[in-house]
């Protein structure tokens, strides 16, 4: 079947099998940041933004995304650049496997809520699992970034 | 793993209904639980073009389309003000935001899963379901409909006669399946308690003995908790034993009543 969508700002058309999952489709489009972690809808590693909302690409058919807008980490580079260095500073990417899902979902959180509390960050990111760090370093990194952003805005 | 050959995206309810008349075809819903099953079907049916993804209201009811996501339920201000946050509390522990942006309320209700937080809360709230051919029936009746049900769930109707609702659940770890779910609501003056993840389907208990007839006090809440725990049948599985669930049930009912 034929589908078309806007992937990372680029309009594309493709011929797919009906059972193609969105994760496999975007990887075939060279969006390799989107990865399989658990494949049981638990880990959040395959997170992409579909029509503005973070979703699990491992559990959505590409066919359902016909006519929609999909964003992966590849298309969010400019938006996420300010906070990824805070993750690196906190050593929050030990093995790094969970990072793309974390970053995309944190970007989605900031779109919904530009100034989240620590509780709101924990709540929003509860669908992203990290098996190296215990989540503390990610939380510190995001808090440091938000504090830095406030300082920058206050200095203007 | 779910295997299928065809994907259909009908543009009318009649077309969708025609497709589900073949027992090998199935409505996708959010496809989350469905995808994890080892199952081969003919055609998967996606209802996304039917406009069933909105929450509307009139003076008497809220109307929740079957393709409304759990996240939409969670953040809908009117619905949660009306149910005192009970609906948001019922879904907020389900995996994560990304999961809840995919999962549909129709998938949760139509699937009639024992572990369903969603079914538990709508059962206590006295909600109804509107099926394309079988018409409007209460959630209590719908639970016992035959399976597979070759009909289309159009929407959930939540009458505006709820005067307070509380939802609580227990889990062995955050975002896990619940070991017990409990919703308490006062609907048209009647106390309705729904207990789910028993691990069987949610079941309803009302105050047939008038334990709460003089209102909710520390003592009457305690007694009603004991009454509900004695009325409901519990089972054991890898998440919890029946005896544990029975003890937790008593406590959750009491806590919900005290918060009502």
ipTM value of the model? 0.95
* Portions of chain B given CATH number 3.30.465.10: 52-159
Q: Which residues pair with B104 in a beta bridge?
A: B69
pTM for this model (two decimals): 0.95
pLDDT in tens, chain B (260 residues): 889 989 999 999 999 999 999 999 999 999 999 998 899 999 999 999 999 999 999 999 999 999 999 999 999 999 999 999 999 999 999 999 999 999 999 999 999 999 999 999 999 999 999 999 999 999 999 999 999 899 999 999 999 999 999 999 999 998 889 999 999 999 999 999 999 999 999 999 999 999 999 999 999 999 999 999 999 999 999 999 999 999 999 999 999 999 99
Cross-chain Cβ contact B7/A63 below 8 Å? yes
H-assigned helices in chain B: 13-20, 32-36, 70-75, 77-82, 86-91, 97-102, 105-111, 117-124, 139-143, 218-231, 242-259
> Would you give the DSSP letter of residue A81?
H
SS3 (DSSP) at B212: coil
Inter-CA distances, B194 with A20, A58, A117, Å: 39, 33, 33
Q: Residues near B230 by Cβ (< 8 Å), separated by ≥ 6?
A: none
The token duo for A76 is: 């969010």
Nearest by CB: A105 against B28, B98, B175: B98
Please report the pLDDT score of residue B203 as a whole number: 97
Integer Cα distance of B70 and B90 in angstroms: 10
Architecture in CATH for domain B52-159: 2-Layer Sandwich (3.30)
Give the domains, in start order, of chain A with CATH numbers. Answer: 2-72 (3.10.20.30), 75-155 (1.10.150.120)
A44 with B98: Cβ contact below 8 A: yes
Which class is domain B162-259? alpha beta
Contacts of B141 (CB under 8 A, 6+ apart): none
Count contacts between A and B (CB, < 8 Å): 71
Q: How far A155 CA lies from chain B's nearest CA (Å)?
A: 34
CB contact under 8 A, A126 and B175: yes
Distances (CA, A) of A8 to A5, A49, A72, A85, B100: 10, 10, 7, 22, 23
Residues forming CATH 3.30.390.50 domain(s) in chain B: 162-259
Q: For strand A69-71 and strand A47-50, is the pairing parallel, antiparallel, or unpaired?
A: antiparallel
Cα(B153)–Cα(B137) distance, rounded to whole angstroms? 11
pLDDT digits (tens, 9 = 90+) for A29-64: 999 999 999 988 899 999 999 999 999 999 999 999
Which residue of chain B comes nearest to A56, CA vs CA?
Answer: B98
Q: Which residues of A touch B (CB under 8 A)?
A: 1, 18-19, 40-42, 44, 47, 50, 53-56, 59-61, 63-64, 105, 108, 123-128
A84-127 pLDDT per residue, tens: 889 888 887 788 889 999 999 999 999 999 999 999 999 999 99
Backbone CA torsion sign across B93, B80, B112, B52: negative
A10: β partners: A7
């Amino acid at each position: 079947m034929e589908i078309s969508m806007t992937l990372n700002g680029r309009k594309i058309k493709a011929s797919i099998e009906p059972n193609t999952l969105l994760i496999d489709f975007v990887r075939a489009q060279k969006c390799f940041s989107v990865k399989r972690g658990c494949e049981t809808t638990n880990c959040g590693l395959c997170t992409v933004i579909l029509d503005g909302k973070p979703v699990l690409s491992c559990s959505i058919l590409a066919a359902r995304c016909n006519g929609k807008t999909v964003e992966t980490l590849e298309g969010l580079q400019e938006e996420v650049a300010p906070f990824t260095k805070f993750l690196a500073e906190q050593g929050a990417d030990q093995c790094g496997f969970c990072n793309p899902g974390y970053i995309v979902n944190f970007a989605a959180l900031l779109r919904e809520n530009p100034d989240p509390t620590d509780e709101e960050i924990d709540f929003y990111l509860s669908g992203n699992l990290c098996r190296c760090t215990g989540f503390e370093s990610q939380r510190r990194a995001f808090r440091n970034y938000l504090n830095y952003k406030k300082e920058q805005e206050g200095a203007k | 793993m779910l295997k299928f050959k065809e994907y259909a995206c009908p543009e009318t309810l009649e077309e969708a209904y025609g497709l589900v008349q073949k027992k090998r075809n199935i409505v996708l819903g959010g496809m989350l639980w469905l995808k994890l099953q080892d199952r081969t079907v003919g055609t998967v049916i996606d209802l996304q073009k039917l406009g069933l993804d909105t929450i509307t209201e009139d003076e008497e009811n809220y109307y929740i389309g079957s393709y409304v996501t759990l996240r939409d339920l969670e953040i809908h201000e009117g619905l949660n003000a009306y149910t005192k946050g009970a609906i948001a509390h019922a879904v907020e522990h389900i995996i994560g935001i990304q999961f809840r942006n995919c999962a549909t309320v129709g998938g949760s209700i139509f699937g009639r899963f024992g572990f369903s937080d969603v079914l538990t809360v709508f059962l206590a709230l006295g909600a109804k379901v509107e099926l394309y051919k079988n018409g409007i029936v209460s959630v209590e009746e719908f639970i016992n409909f035959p399976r597979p049900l070759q009909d289309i769930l159009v929407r959930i109707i939540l009458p505006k006669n709820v005067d307070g609702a509380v939802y609580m659940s227990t889990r062995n770890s955050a975002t896990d399946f619940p070991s017990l779910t409990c919703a308490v609501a006062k609907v048209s003056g009647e106390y309705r308690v729904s207990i789910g993840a028993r691990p069987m389907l949610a079941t309803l208990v009302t105050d047939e003995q008038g334990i709460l007839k003089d209102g909710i006090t520390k003592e009457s809440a305690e007694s009603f908790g004991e009454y509900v725990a004695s009325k409901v049948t519990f089972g054991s599985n890898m998440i919890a034993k029946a005896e544990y669930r029975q003890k937790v049930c008593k406590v959750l009912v009491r806590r919900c009543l005290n918060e009502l």
